[in-house]
């Protein structure tokens, strides 16, 4: 018998192998917050990483968006009028006097001059969301042909609208209720605050790989 086997034999003799067989793990107890608690938890978590949350009514959120844009001295705003929320925003801007230029995302990123404008001249973009996760303060954005990924990635400021009744307790609850266990979406984005990095000298900087401001309008 070699030394290795001798050591193993001694170990096996000192403990009953049954002690090493894991028992069936109990499922973790998940939070079950009510609607108000979910909103408060979401706000707490996303605010902790520099996200902004503004509560609005469904009939006045464009006014709030315009007010915030003016406070931040934004010159223009990219939106998608083909979407439900984008159409509401467009209608409000048509009926209101303001200095903010409302821009439409073109059918193609390759449209003449748009790519340069997107990267160097557009101050902010507005998109919808399909919900949020309270436990982690995470927005769920689902890009499509009208609101492509670039809208929530390139402009320095990202406005996003969230319906408060679509806040789930946890990611697990989202997967179950949205039916994601049957087929995951191919392009869902989970956004937990503005873009940030501390790669250089461990100094936290915002906007390194995406928007430096994330503004959530909760309706």
Q: Report if residue 11 sits inside a domain.
A: no
Per-residue pLDDT reduced to its tens digit, 139-173: 999 999 999 999 999 999 999 999 999 999 999 99
Q: Report if residue 8 sits inside a domain.
A: no
Q: Of the candidates 161, 134, 141, 174, which has an alpha carbon nearest to the alpha carbon of residue 219?
A: 161
What's the predicted TM-score (pTM) here?
0.83
Q: Report if residue 75 sits inside a domain.
A: yes
Q: Report if residue 20 sits inside a domain.
A: no
Per-residue pLDDT reduced to its tens digit, 84-111: 999 999 999 999 988 899 999 888 888 8
Q: Report if residue 79 sits inside a domain.
A: yes
Q: How far apart are CA 194 and CA 143, in angstroms?
A: 17
> How many structural domains compose the chain?
1
Domain assignment of residue 157, given as a range: 30-198+211-218
Do residues 195 and 212 lie in contact, with contact meaning Cβ atoms separated by under 8 Å?
yes
Using CA atoms, how far residue 118 sits from 24, 90, 112, 189, in Å, is 53, 19, 11, 20
Label the pairing between strands 167-168 and 157-162.
unpaired
How high is the pLDDT of residue 23? Answer: 67
Q: Report if residue 3 sits inside a domain.
A: no
Per-residue pLDDT reduced to its tens digit, 98-144: 889 999 988 888 888 898 999 999 999 999 999 999 999 999 999 99
CATH number of the domain to which 56 belongs: 3.40.50.10420
Per-residue pLDDT reduced to its tens digit, 25-34: 777 788 889 9
Q: Report if residue 24 sits inside a domain.
A: no
Q: In the predicted model, what is the mean pLDDT of the chain?
A: 90
Q: Report if residue 7 sits inside a domain.
A: no
């Amino acid at each position: 018998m070699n030394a290795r086997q001798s050591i193993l034999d001694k170990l096996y003799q000192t403990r009953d192998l049954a002690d090493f067989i894991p028992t069936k793990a109990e499922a973790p107890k998940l939070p079950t917050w009510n609607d108000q608690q979910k909103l408060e938890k979401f706000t707490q978590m996303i605010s902790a990483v520099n996200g902004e949350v503004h509560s609005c009514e469904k009939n006045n959120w464009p006014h709030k968006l315009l007010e915030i844009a003016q406070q931040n001295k934004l010159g223009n705003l990219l939106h998608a009028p083909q979407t439900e929320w984008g159409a509401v925003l467009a209608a409000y801007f048509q009926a209101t006097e303001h200095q903010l230029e409302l821009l439409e995302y073109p059918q193609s990123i390759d449209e003449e001059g748009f790519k340069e404008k997107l990267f160097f001249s557009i101050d902010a973009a507005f998109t919808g969301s399909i919900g949020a996760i309270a436990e982690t303060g995470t927005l769920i954005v689902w890009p499509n042909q009208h609101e492509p990924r670039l809208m929530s990635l390139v402009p320095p400021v990202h406005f996003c609208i969230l319906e408060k009744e679509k806040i789930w307790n946890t990611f697990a609850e989202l997967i179950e209720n949205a039916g994601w266990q049957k087929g995951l979406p191919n392009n869902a984005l989970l956004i937990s605050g503005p873009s940030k990095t501390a790669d250089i000298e461990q100094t936290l900087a915002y906007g390194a790989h995406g928007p430096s401001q994330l503004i959530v309008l909760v309706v």
